[in-house]
Protein backbone atom coordinates (compact mmCIF):
# COMPACT_ATOMS: atom_id res chain seq x y z
CA UNK A 1 0.00 0.00 0.00
CA UNK A 2 1.14 3.51 -0.73
CA UNK A 3 0.44 6.82 0.87
CA UNK A 4 -0.80 9.83 -1.09
CA UNK A 5 2.64 11.37 -0.61
CA UNK A 6 4.33 8.29 -2.13
CA UNK A 7 1.83 8.33 -4.99
CA UNK A 8 2.61 12.00 -5.63
CA UNK A 9 6.33 11.18 -5.81
CA UNK A 10 5.65 8.44 -8.38
CA UNK A 11 3.47 10.76 -10.42
CA UNK A 12 6.11 13.51 -10.30
CA UNK A 13 8.69 11.03 -11.64
CA UNK A 14 6.32 9.91 -14.41
CA UNK A 15 5.72 13.53 -15.39
CA UNK A 16 9.47 14.11 -15.42
CA UNK A 17 10.15 11.12 -17.70
CA UNK A 18 7.01 11.12 -19.87
CA UNK A 19 5.86 14.73 -19.84
CA UNK A 20 2.87 16.51 -18.35
CA UNK A 21 0.64 15.77 -21.35
CA UNK A 22 1.32 12.02 -21.46
CA UNK A 23 -1.94 10.02 -21.52
CA UNK A 24 -2.79 7.96 -18.45
CA UNK A 25 -5.52 5.73 -17.05
CA UNK A 26 -5.68 5.49 -13.28
CA UNK A 27 -7.77 4.05 -10.53
CA UNK A 28 -7.13 5.47 -7.08
CA UNK A 29 -8.84 4.20 -3.98
CA UNK A 30 -8.44 6.01 -0.68
CA UNK A 31 -9.87 5.61 2.79
CA UNK A 32 -12.95 7.52 1.63
CA UNK A 33 -13.76 4.59 -0.68
CA UNK A 34 -13.72 2.04 2.14
CA UNK A 35 -17.24 2.34 3.51
CA UNK A 36 -20.05 0.20 4.78
CA UNK A 37 -23.80 0.78 4.68
CA UNK A 38 -26.35 0.25 7.40
CA UNK A 39 -29.74 -1.37 6.95
CA UNK A 40 -31.17 1.93 5.71
CA UNK A 41 -28.39 2.24 3.10
CA UNK A 42 -26.75 5.11 4.95
CA UNK A 43 -23.00 5.28 4.70
CA UNK A 44 -21.23 4.24 7.89
CA UNK A 45 -17.70 5.54 8.30
CA UNK A 46 -15.06 3.03 9.30
CA UNK A 47 -12.96 4.63 11.99
CA UNK A 48 -10.39 1.85 12.50
CA UNK A 49 -7.41 2.78 10.32
CA UNK A 50 -6.03 -0.79 10.50
CA UNK A 51 -9.18 -2.13 8.83
CA UNK A 52 -8.91 0.53 6.12
CA UNK A 53 -5.23 -0.24 5.56
CA UNK A 54 -5.93 -3.99 5.35
CA UNK A 55 -8.72 -3.46 2.82
CA UNK A 56 -6.63 -1.14 0.64
CA UNK A 57 -3.62 -3.46 0.85
CA UNK A 58 -5.77 -6.36 -0.37
CA UNK A 59 -7.16 -4.23 -3.20
CA UNK A 60 -3.64 -3.29 -4.31
CA UNK A 61 -2.41 -6.86 -3.96
CA UNK A 62 -5.17 -8.39 -6.09
CA UNK A 63 -3.65 -9.76 -9.29
CA UNK A 64 -7.09 -10.17 -10.87
CA UNK A 65 -7.31 -6.41 -11.38
CA UNK A 66 -3.99 -6.30 -13.24
CA UNK A 67 -4.98 -9.33 -15.34
CA UNK A 68 -8.23 -7.64 -16.37
CA UNK A 69 -6.42 -4.44 -17.31
CA UNK A 70 -3.82 -6.35 -19.36
CA UNK A 71 -6.58 -8.34 -21.09
CA UNK A 72 -8.28 -5.07 -21.99
CA UNK A 73 -5.02 -3.63 -23.37
CA UNK A 74 -4.32 -6.82 -25.36
CA UNK A 75 -7.87 -6.87 -26.73
CA UNK A 76 -7.74 -3.25 -27.82
CA UNK A 77 -4.32 -3.66 -29.46
CA UNK A 78 -5.40 -6.82 -31.30
CA UNK A 79 -8.15 -4.81 -33.00
CA UNK A 80 -5.57 -2.36 -34.31
CA UNK A 81 -3.15 -4.88 -35.78
Is the pLDDT assigned to residue 81 strictly greater than 90?
no
- Work out whether the CA dihedral 29, 31, 32, 35 comes out positive or negative: positive
Q: Is the pLDDT of residue 30 over 80?
A: yes
**Helix and strand counts by DSSP (H, E) for the chain:** 3, 2
Residues 6-28 have pLDDT tens digits of 999 999 999 999 999 999 999 89
pLDDT, tens digit (0-9, with 9 covering 90-100), for 47-73: 999 999 999 999 888 889 889 999 999
Alpha helices of 26-78 — where are they, by DSSP H? 49-60, 63-78
Amino acid sequence: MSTLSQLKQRIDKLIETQGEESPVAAFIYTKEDVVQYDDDFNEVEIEDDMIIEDVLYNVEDTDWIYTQIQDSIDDELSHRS
